[in-house]
Structure 1
Amino acid sequence: MNDSPGWATPGPSPSDGEQPGASDGRSGGEGTQTPAGGQKWSAEQPPPGAGLPPDGIWGGSSPATPQPPHAPQPLQPQPGAGWGSYGGPQGGQYGYPGGAGQWGKPPAAKPGVIPLRPLDMGEVLDGAVSTMRSHWRSVLSITLVVATVIQVINVIVQKYAFADLAVTSDPDADLQDVLDALSGTMTALLAEGFIQIIGTILATAMLTMIFSRAVLGQRSTIGGAWREARPQLLRLLGLTFLITLAAVALVSVLILPGIALSSIGIGVLGGLASLPLLIWLGIKFSLASPALMLEKSSVIGALRRSSKLVQGSWWRIFGITALTGLITAFVSAVIVWPLTAIGLVFGLADGGPEALQNGTAATGWVPLVFSGIGAIIAQTITMPMQSGVTVMLYVDQRIRREALDLELARAAGLENYGTNAATTPPAGG
């Protein structure tokens, strides 16, 4: 694996051959290691209770030192039962100290913003925030430009689209005027939505590359992120529109009986029934974007990849995603609402009480500009937070299922990471 963020599926585990310093003797069918004291011991540790590791690995006394009959055994890896204390695939799930009767988490290499082991929720969020803090020039520059373009167009559309909607409330307006106003408004809103989707795709693609580099402890520039993301932009656009089209089709199918029967109640029930399905599908395919960008896969391949990675971890990913959404919504509200209120005060000061009655207090230039400034600030902060959490979840799932930490360690330049896990812990971050 090279140091580019295009991560392919990890290959076989590191060589299981003898390490430097191994003797020709055998113990239990495995190559033996010679510690500093000169005593030979097996590279694969026995299960708990069958012996103690040599001094200086997890603590405890030297094997030559007699132990009391009921002395507590030091922590040691379980051969063949999962992952060892420091990494290295043994089959099964990734296990580490921290369960019942154990203490804390094992040392783990940390070349970048996250340790190379399965992450808990706090580490996923911290990885996203740490990247924003340590790579703020690249991250905030991208999101600031995208958010500014989106909000400038949004302010213009709201100003003139809402002005056209005033025609529809005029009792003297004829049907043709109402239809023209609605047509113009819908066209403007669709154009705004399209620009917002394009901007979000550009930001997501470039941020994914920056976050993937941050996992390896590498710096990224805006130009470098653009060069790495550009080949996959059309596929990411296709992925976004395919998911959007599928969501629209699902909602349409479920509300269609209510429309056919002219029943509002049935239509509402169909719309409510679509919500849990949309949430389930949204989480199921939530990792498709980083899979497409980092593995250079196709649209369908990215959807299948996300489905495979999420399988068995749906509730965990849903919980972290929902918490991220609550955090970003709170941050946005704290920023946008005060500025929107200030804009409304200025609007009322210019138009008086009549502006509040006819709705012009919210559609004047001053309130719209204040609201747009608040939205720019909020999006600049929350957009990388959401993208970062998605990338960290993708990396975490691949570490749990595919031992991606070994590939990342080699890409980060950590030599012999995972090849001698039973005797030497990797460099801590």
Structure 2
Amino acid sequence: MNDTPGWASPGSSPSDGQGADVPRPAEPAEPADATGSPAKWSDHQPPAGHWSPPTAPGPSGPVPPPAPAPGWGGGHHQSGWGRPPAAKPGVIPLRPLGVGEILDGAVSTLRAHWRTVLGITLTVSVITQIGDILVQRYLVPVPPKLGPDPTPEEALSQSVESLKASLISLGPTMLLTLIGTFVTTALLTIVISRAVLGRPVTLSDAWNEARPRLPQLLGLTLLLPLLSAAVMAVGVLPGLLLGGTPAGVLLTVVGGIAALVVMVWLLIRFSLSYSALMLERQGVMASLRRSAKLVQGAWWRIFGIITLTTLVMFLVSMIIAIPFTVIAFAADGEGLGGLLTGTTPEFGWAFLIITGVGAVIAASITYPISSGVSVLLYIDQRIRREALDLDLARAAGVPGYGAPAPGDTPPGS
């Protein structure tokens, strides 16, 4: 029984576990001859270089195909005498994607739908950053100041107090981060899925389509961090039970490293679950199984792409944050001299607001790109495994792939 799902844009049919009622991709139609019968291939075919792709208008105008990627050869796209270039109704060509194309597709979504994307990310970033500023100002204790020549005991006490302050702020900060991730994931997944089809989307469109999936998405957003925490607890708990003995310290370190490896493996294995939940209308556990199925056999590739994206986003955040941090030190605390000597600022309002502005700008750029990479990785895996590009071309109205399914009709059309 074939359980491969078709393209399930928000509002259409579920995927896994449903067979006959799931829309399947329409094969390109064969031309008919004068009698109405399907035309047969002639014995004399034109050379490959003379082939011209279809340029008939789609629902939103002509659909010019891009040049094919070098070295790509999908079996279900090849003909006996040439390779037609993949259709590109939106931000990506409808074929297996390279790393650069995934990153470019995420950036192209930000450019093409910048009003909607920035409306989402700026709103979420400002709200979460205000919450973080209030936490830093009123919940985090200020570490004790050291004298010009502190004793080892005073230095140790200051380090302990700084660690305590960091741990106190960790809980609220992580909660705010989860809330921001939850909202941006829900809305940006809808925007990116529309951008792949070349369709416009407004903030109200994204909200209306994402809203029915919010309870399940919230459950998934909370489940994955809890799962990671449980794995880490299991890894370090035996060593902690042995106390501060050398064996206990060694067991804690080894268990922590092993738990970290398992955490990374699980997070990559379930990295496509958010997209599966939103775009296939899956439940929480079904989306985890769906992600594991799509990632199977491609773990290292997905790990490499996610790691590269994380590093790029970290560098972008640092490039944006460093100037604001310098300005914050100059405007508050010990000034630039405090920055050079490593003096910890007292988290005055000026310092918190200036660094908060930098954090908002960085998040407004990095949120949509990281979300775009996640969604495009999901689409890429389904193209590679399930020929999703045929369903996408049909849903986008590309000529030769059949009429779009009712669930693929854009709102208001």
Instruction: State if a TM-score over 0.5 links the two structures.
Output: yes
1:405 CA drift (Å): 1.1
Partner residue of 1:83?
Answer: 76
Partner residue of 2:179?
Answer: 198
Alpha carbons of structure 1 residues 414 and 403: separation in structure 2 relative to 1, 3 Å:
same
Is the partner of 2:76 in helix, strand or coil?
A: coil
Amino acid at match of 1:33: A
Partner residue of 1:304?
Answer: 289
> Number of aligned pairs?
357
Unaligned runs of 5+ in 1: 25-30, 35-39, 42-51, 61-80, 87-95, 170-180, 420-429
Partner residue of 2:33?
Answer: 21
Say which of 105, 114, 124 aligns to 1:146.
Answer: 124
Does residue 124 of structure 1 match 2:92?
no
Alpha carbons of structure 1 residues 418 and 126: separation in structure 2 relative to 1, 3 Å:
farther
1:85 CA drift (Å): 2.3
Asked if 2 retains the 8 angstrom alpha-carbon contact of 1:255 and 1:267, the reply is: yes
State how far apart, in whole Å, the 2-side matches of 1:3 and 1:246 are: 28
Partner residue of 2:349?
Answer: 365
Alpha carbons of structure 1 residues 106 and 283: separation in structure 2 relative to 1, 3 Å:
farther
Partner residue of 2:214?
Answer: 233
Report sequence identity in percent.
45
1:301 CA drift (Å): 0.4
Partner residue of 1:209?
Answer: 190
Is the partner of 1:163 in helix, strand or coil?
A: coil
State how far apart, in whole Å, the 1-side matches of 2:396 and 2:321 are: 40
Q: 1:277-288 residue pairs with structure 2 within 5 A?
A: 277-288=262-273
Q: 1:387-398 residue pairs with structure 2 within 5 A?
A: 387-398=371-382
Partner residue of 2:363?
Answer: 379
- CA offsets per residue over residues 277-296 of structure 1, 9 Å max, x none? 11111111000000000001
Asked if 2 retains the 8 angstrom alpha-carbon contact of 1:232 and 1:293, the reply is: yes
Partner residue of 1:330?
Answer: 315
Alpha carbons of structure 1 residues 352 and 285: separation in structure 2 relative to 1, 3 Å:
closer
Partner residue of 1:5?
Answer: 10
Alpha carbons of structure 1 residues 309 and 6: separation in structure 2 relative to 1, 3 Å:
farther
Say which of 33, 38, 48 aligns to 2:39.
Answer: 33
1:120 CA drift (Å): 0.9
RMSD between superposed Cα atoms in Å: 3.7
State how far apart, in whole Å, the 2-side matches of 1:275 and 1:376 are: 30
Asked if 2 retains the 8 angstrom alpha-carbon contact of 1:157 and 1:189, the reply is: no
- CA offsets per residue over residues 344-388 of structure 1, 9 Å max, x none? 1222456986997873x2522222222111111111100100000
1:417 CA drift (Å): 2.3
Partner residue of 1:222?
Answer: 203
Does residue 54 of structure 1 match 2:45?
yes
Asked if 2 retains the 8 angstrom alpha-carbon contact of 1:143 and 1:383, the reply is: yes
Give the TM-score taking structure 1 as reference length.
Answer: 0.73
State how far apart, in whole Å, the 2-side matches of 1:354 and 1:394 are: 43
Asked if 1 retains the 8 angstrom alpha-carbon contact of 2:124 and 2:184, the reply is: yes
Asked if 2 retains the 8 angstrom alpha-carbon contact of 1:406 and 1:418, the reply is: no
State how far apart, in whole Å, the 2-side matches of 1:322 and 1:351 are: 34
Asked if 1 retains the 8 angstrom alpha-carbon contact of 2:239 and 2:252, the reply is: yes
1:165 CA drift (Å): 5.2
State how far apart, in whole Å, the 1-side matches of 2:34 and 2:285 are: 47
Asked if 1 retains the 8 angstrom alpha-carbon contact of 2:236 and 2:252, the reply is: yes
State how far apart, in whole Å, the 2-side matches of 1:402 and 1:370 are: 48
Asked if 1 retains the 8 angstrom alpha-carbon contact of 2:219 and 2:284, the reply is: yes
Alpha carbons of structure 1 residues 266 and 3: separation in structure 2 relative to 1, 3 Å:
closer
State how far apart, in whole Å, the 1-side matches of 2:117 and 2:339 are: 44
Say which of 404, 407, 422 aligns to 2:391.
Answer: 407
Alpha carbons of structure 1 residues 143 and 17: separation in structure 2 relative to 1, 3 Å:
closer
1:163 CA drift (Å): 3.2
Alpha carbons of structure 1 residues 300 and 145: separation in structure 2 relative to 1, 3 Å:
same
Does residue 257 of structure 1 match 2:262?
no
Asked if 2 retains the 8 angstrom alpha-carbon contact of 1:236 and 1:289, the reply is: yes
Say which of 93, 114, 121 aligns to 1:136.
Answer: 114
1:21 CA drift (Å): 2.2
Partner residue of 1:64?
Answer: none
Asked if 1 retains the 8 angstrom alpha-carbon contact of 2:92 and 2:105, the reply is: yes
1:184 CA drift (Å): 9.7
Partner residue of 2:153?
Answer: none
Asked if 2 retains the 8 angstrom alpha-carbon contact of 1:5 and 1:213, the reply is: no
Unaligned runs of 5+ in 2: 1-5, 16-21, 52-73, 148-161, 404-413
State how far apart, in whole Å, the 1-side matches of 2:302 and 2:274 are: 15
State how far apart, in whole Å, the 2-side matches of 1:183 and 1:353 are: 22
Alpha carbons of structure 1 residues 55 and 2: separation in structure 2 relative to 1, 3 Å:
same
Alpha carbons of structure 1 residues 404 and 245: separation in structure 2 relative to 1, 3 Å:
same
Alpha carbons of structure 1 residues 345 and 164: separation in structure 2 relative to 1, 3 Å:
closer
State how far apart, in whole Å, the 2-side matches of 1:185 and 1:273 are: 25
Alpha carbons of structure 1 residues 224 and 118: separation in structure 2 relative to 1, 3 Å:
same
Say which of 339, 344, 353 aligns to 2:324.
Answer: 339
